[in-house]
Amino acid sequence: MASIWEYANPLKFMRTTEAALPFIGWAAALCLGVGLVWGFFFTPDDFRQGSTVKIFYIHVPSAMMAINIWVMMLITSLIWIVRRHHVSALAARAAAPIGAVMTLIALFTGAVWGQPMWGTWWAWDPRLTSFLILFLFYLGYMALWAAIENDDTAADLTSILCLVGSVFALLSRYAVNFWNQGLHQGASLSLDKKENVADVFWYPALVSIAGFVLLFVALVIVRTNTEIRARRARALMARERLG
Amino acid sequence: MMPELGKYAAEVLSAYAVTLGLLFALVLVSVARARRVKGELEEIEHRSKTRG
């Protein structure tokens, strides 16, 4: 069995991930297609929320991804800090724009869902506010990478920013439990069957979540490999300039 | 085929439209940059090799 650290070698990482990419990409398209079509066309309305319950199949997966992508960035940032593997730092950089888009989708669909259900697009509720701050952290993280020319310095500073931002990723997930106030309800999905949403909503949501996860994996592979190539191009150009 | 969305049709449709639009744009931007950077790197590597 190969050690996971073998994938710290950029060539090994690129060869392995590019071989797997078509399968992951098609699986993502299939799961997203099935999950969203099933959720939108073939599920009933909720007796209280009416047809707005269909927003569930995009809001919940995107919100889950927004938080979990930051957790992935935290892990890869820690690997960079401890072991100095460039692929790890570049994977965190590659994931950030995907996380920002997922957070934006969660915020937008939440506002559109909240208006008819709560009577307002926005409230300074603990979960909504921590999500907005998480979105700003994503933007700040990307801006910091773009602002620093030296890749290693940028990786160091963004890793520290990632550690700080993890507080808000955690708060986004547990704000409702911590403060027990505000408009947003607790988790809709649970492994406890009594707490969980009804099966008619749960199964399409599960397929949709799988689609969002697979889409993230496919995109992070494409973007990490791009960052690896861009880093090599910068290094070669610097060597050219030196003569 | 289109489900009856009732009075919430605008909310549901706009949520799906914006989500799919953003995801599609993200895929498009990622693939386009991947191709561009790959091409640039090949050009730089070719230049380095020919210069020795």
- Residue ranges per domain, chain A? 58-181+213-242
A228 touches A10 (CB < 8 A): yes
Judged by a CB distance cut-off of 8 A, whether residue B37 touches chain A is: yes
State how far the Cα of A195 lies from the Cα of A63, in Å rounded to an integer.
19
Instruction: Report pTM.
Output: 0.93
Question: Looking at the DSSP assignment, which residues form a beta bridge with residue A46?
Answer: A50
pLDDT computed for residue A2 by the predictor: 67
pLDDT computed for residue A241 by the predictor: 85
* Nearest CA distance, A218 vs chain B (angstrom): 9
CA-wise closest residue to A100 among A123, A78, A131: A131
Low-confidence ranges of chain A (pLDDT < 70): 1-2, 175-176, 178-183, 185-195
* pLDDT tens-digit readout, A38-64: 999 999 988 888 899 999 999 999 999
pLDDT computed for residue A1 by the predictor: 58
Q: What is the 3-state secondary structure (H, E, C) of A50-92?
A: EHHHHHHHHHHHHHHHHHHHHHHHHHHHHHHHHHCCHHHHHHH
What count of other Cβ atoms lies within 10 Å of the Cβ of residue A150? 9
Judged by a CB distance cut-off of 8 A, whether residue A120 touches chain B is: no
Phi-psi region of A120 (alpha: psi -120 to 50; beta: other; left: phi over 0): beta
pLDDT computed for residue A60 by the predictor: 95
Judged by a CB distance cut-off of 8 A, whether residue A50 touches chain B is: yes
Residue linked to tokens 């297609």: A33
**pLDDT (tens digit, 0 to 9) for every residue of chain B, 52 residues total?**
788 888 999 999 999 999 999 999 999 999 999 999 999 999 999 988 887 6
pLDDT computed for residue A190 by the predictor: 66
CA-wise closest residue to A210 among A67, A26, A32, A25: A32
Chain A interface mutation, best of B2, B4, B12, highest count of A Cβ atoms under 10 Å: B12
Under DSSP, is residue A46 helix (H, G, I), strand (E, B) or coil? strand
Chain A residues whose CB is inside 8 A of the B19 CB are 58, 62, 105, 108-109
- Residue ranges per domain, chain B? 9-51
B8 touches A116 (CB < 8 A): yes
* pLDDT tens-digit readout, A77-96: 999 999 999 999 999 999 99
Under DSSP, is residue A232 helix (H, G, I), strand (E, B) or coil? helix
For A228, the token pair is 């690896």
- Please, which residues 142-181 of chain A have a Cβ atom closer than 8 Å to chain B? none
